[in-house]
Structure 1
């Protein structure tokens, strides 16, 4: 079955203009065109489009994705290079996840902090609390936050 840009964009949950941009940047050399010049996508194109979307979400640049797509076009001779690219992106995403987890932990602590301050009517109350007085599930977040706030302690 063939799909228009709009139909394929809907399948991918992205804007049609994104697919047009990808094509303009050379990421879609596999896309067929109708006699009238319209881009026509096949069911098989979906796999590569999902990979492009995934790589973009990891923060990979369009230039790097283009390099990947060029390697795909080379076939099995480029397996090692493609594997290296995915290994590098996995490490980058793992780092992003760790950074996001750290951010989430601080947000959870500060949410508790302000919920407590609101209930007590003052920010001085949670600020003055000793770690053992903080709810057990919040303590790791408080400790992490305190270490970031006062690295010399």
Structure 2
């Protein structure tokens, strides 16, 4: 018996990945899939589990701020096969550095927000109705 990989329609893939059908078509047009999307005899797009796994990776790359052009370059290298791992590694390292910098920035922002929340929790608990640290507009004379 020949094992045939499960085929998924575009709606199934949209549901599994959280991407809209429109975005899936865009990713295909932009060349962001490792393998070309196959078509059924009726002309409908047919996806496989590896397609879904790759699309989930793409959503994580995008959520982390990776530009489509960078993903496209990574895909081009992956399609070429072995021999360009150093370039793929550099793409990922560059992005990793950008994410680490952003995490540091967000951590500092979170620290500020937490300090402000603490101040306002104390004000509310003490029944203070006016924030002594908020600048007021000048009074008209």
TM over 0.5: yes
1:57 aligns with 2:66: no
Where in structure 1 are there 5+ consecutive unaligned residues? 128-153
Q: Is the 8 A contact 1:52 1:65 kept in 2?
A: yes
- Pairs within 5 Å for 1:1-80: 1-28=6-33, 30=35, 31-80=37-86
Partners of 2:54 and 2:34 lie apart in 1 by: 11
Structure 1 counterpart of 2:137: none
Tell whether the 8 Å contact from 1:27 to 1:65 is kept in structure 2 after alignment.
Answer: yes
CA-CA distance at 1:123 after TM superposition: 2.2
Q: Which residue of 2 aligns with 1:123?
A: 131
More helix per residue: 1 or 2? Answer: 1
Equivalent runs, 1:85-124 vs 2, <5 Å: 85-120=91-126, 121=128, 122-124=130-132
May I ask how many residue pairs the two structures share in their alignment? 125
C-alpha distance after superposition, 1:18-39 (max 9, x if no partner): 2111112111251211123221
Instruction: Note the alpha carbon deviations across 1:86-123, whole angstroms, 9 max, x for none.
Output: 11111111111111111111111111111222233132
- Matched residues in 2 for 1:29 and 1:108: separation? 43
Structure 2 residue runs of 5 or longer lacking an equivalent are 1-5, 134-141
Q: Which runs of at least 4 in structure 1 moved beyond 6 Å after TM superposition?
A: none
Mean CA deviation greater in 107-116 or 41-50: 41-50
Per-residue deviation at 1:79?
1.0
Query: TM-score, normalised to structure 1's length?
Result: 0.75
8 Å CA contact 1:23, 1:29 repeated in 2: no
Structure ranking higher on relative contact order (CA contacts 8 Å, 6+ apart): 2
